[in-house]
Amino acid sequence: MQQRPSPPRRFAIGVHPELATANTVARQIKHALLEQGAAEVFLAPLNNQELRQLVSGGKFDALIAVGGDGTMLRAGHLCAPQGIPIMGINVGHFGFLIEVQHNQWQSKLSDLLQGKYRVENRMMLRAEHWHQNQKMGSWDVLNEVIACRGNFVRPVRLRAEVDGFLLANYVADGLIIATPTGSTAYALAAGGPIMPPDLRNILIIPVAPHLSIDRAVILPEGAQVSVHVRTNHEAVMSVDGHQPIIMQDGDEIRAATGPNVVSFIRFEDPGYFYCNLTKYMEKNPVTGDLDGKS
């Protein structure tokens, strides 16, 4: 039987900076936390510099993210290095990563303060951009890292290697390297398999391959993936939907299981993931958080 975690007492509330509904709900949550005995509550937009500094300094026991899936992604990037668990409140349109809806938070908050929850750990990747044998940057990845075409509607040539051995050569719009969490994001739209969130595997799937292997490949967590870009036009690298990074001919993406995990606060049994699959798949929002601004 899983041991009940210690009830958190010091809270950060990170809010989607552009959703008025999120701010309203966040203020109500702060008031309820203080009424129920929380020692400290700091509320600010998730991109607020003071909030980010306090979280990075390990000031809080938990962070409550109020928004949608994009908000959860950004909260995950912020909290993972410190091991701070995240409770999501969905006020967006989709919320695949979020268990608690905006009309449920009162009861779940009471459970949280009593320690009646479990922690679900999600693996992250560590992705690196290499140019002429020089590392240009590295990033933690919760959903996926992608090598893909840029503004020109022409495919790119991508050579994928696993542990130094050739996996496949692709002519495609792009190649996705995803976590199990990311299997329900862009990888799902590209026809990839849905993977349970507690797995620790790496998923590789091409986007619109032309006369190339079109199957997804699932790798063990210890695999080292390398993607070499061959192009005479613009290609880009994107991490979790952030601002794309221009890649040049011969550049390389290296990805492997990272040292950090994202910890989500959950109130339902682990089987909730399967129970909610159909509900999420049928939502298919026409507008809202698909641009990653949630």
**79 bridge partner residues:** none
Quote the CA–CA distance of 279 and 98 in Å, as a whole number: 13
Are the C-beta atoms of residues 73 and 9 closer than 8 Å to each other? Answer: no
The order of strands in the sheet holding 201-207 is 217-220, 201-207, 174-178, 144-149, 235-239, 245-247
Give backbone dihedrals phi and psi of 101, rounded to 5 degrees, phi first.
Answer: -85, 165
Catalytic option among 61, 69, 173, 240: 69
Quote the CA–CA distance of 270 and 96 in Å, as a whole number: 15
Angle, helices 49-56/69-79, rounded to nearest 10 degrees: 50
Q: Which residue has the tokens 């750990």?
A: 121
End-to-end CA distance of the chain: 35
**157 bridge partner residues:** 171, 230
Residues whose CB falls within 8 Å of the CB of residue 20, separated by 6 or more in sequence, listed in order: none
* Whether 69 is catalytic: yes
Q: Under DSSP, is residue 226 helix (H, G, I), strand (E, B) or coil?
A: strand
Q: Under DSSP, is residue 227 helix (H, G, I), strand (E, B) or coil?
A: strand
Closest CA to 124 of 90, 73, 84: 73
Triad 63, 291, 262: Cα angle to 5°: 30
Eight-class DSSP state of 6 = P
Catalytic residue annotation = 69
